[in-house]
Amino acid sequence: MGFEKFGKISYTSETKVKDFVNYLEKGKIMATQCRMCKKIYFPPRMDCSNCLSVDRMNWREINNEWTLITYTTAHFAPTGFEDDTPYMLAIAESAEGLKLFARLSKDVSEDQVKLGMKLKLTPVKLPNGKIVYEFKPLGE
């Protein structure tokens, strides 16, 4: 238990990386890094597919500077997200070469969005007590 707080609708409760949510609630966005082979994982994971070590990860804060690679504006949504439409979904790449899928903040209007723009990832507490992260323009 613990991970069900992540996302407006959550489908996963049990995971070895549930501490991610505790960090997120404190405003920290954490990756894991393998102590053995040094590979960095974001989203975090405790099992290293690179050197096959298990539970030998350190938590570390991400370098929070991202570049927008692609995005879409969803006008139709799966169950539970209907009230949010339209919303923007994006993939961005970090300065460390990590890639992440998340929403683009509703504070940004679609005509302000440009591929290549710089973003930061920000924790967002939702009215239903859940927590999530979203991309916002860097510098805001």
Partner 1 sequence: MSEVAVVGVGQTAFTRACGVSIKELCFEAFREALEDAENLQPQDMDGSIICSAPEYDKQRSPAGAIAEYLGLNPKPTFYAEAICASSTTGVRIAYGLIKSGLHDLVAVIGFQKMSELSSTEVQERMGRGADIMWESPFGLSMPAGYALFARAHMQKYGTTEEQLAKIKVKSGKYSVLNHKAIFQREVSLEEILNSRVIAAPLKFYDCCSNADGASCIILASAEKARKITDTPVWIRGLGSASDSLSMANKANLTGLNCAVEAARQAYKMAGIEPKDVDVAEVHDCFTIAELMAYENLGFCKPGEGGKLIEECQTYIDGDIPVNIDGGLLGKGHPIGATGGSQVRTIVLELRGDAGKLQVKGAEIGLVHNIGGVGLYGNVIIFSR
Interface residues with partner 1 (CB under 8 A) are 3, 6-12, 15, 43, 69-81, 84, 87, 89, 91, 99-103, 110, 115, 132
Closest distance of CB 16 from partner 1, Å: 11
Nearer Cβ to partner 1, position 78 or 139?
78
Closest distance of CB 4 from partner 1, Å: 10
Nearer Cβ to partner 1, position 6 or 33?
6
Closest distance of CB 17 from partner 1, Å: 9
Nearer Cβ to partner 1, position 22 or 70?
70
Task: State the pairing for strand pair 87-94/66-74.
Answer: antiparallel
How many residues are present in the chain?
140
Nearer Cβ to partner 1, position 79 or 109?
79
Region of 112 on the Ramachandran plot (φ > 0 left; ψ -120 to 50 alpha; else beta):
alpha
Residue 124 burial (10 A CB sphere; 0-12, 13-18, 19+): middle
Give phi and psi for 54, each to the nearest 5: -120, 135
Closest distance of CB 38 from partner 1, Å: 19
Residue 119 burial (10 A CB sphere; 0-12, 13-18, 19+): buried
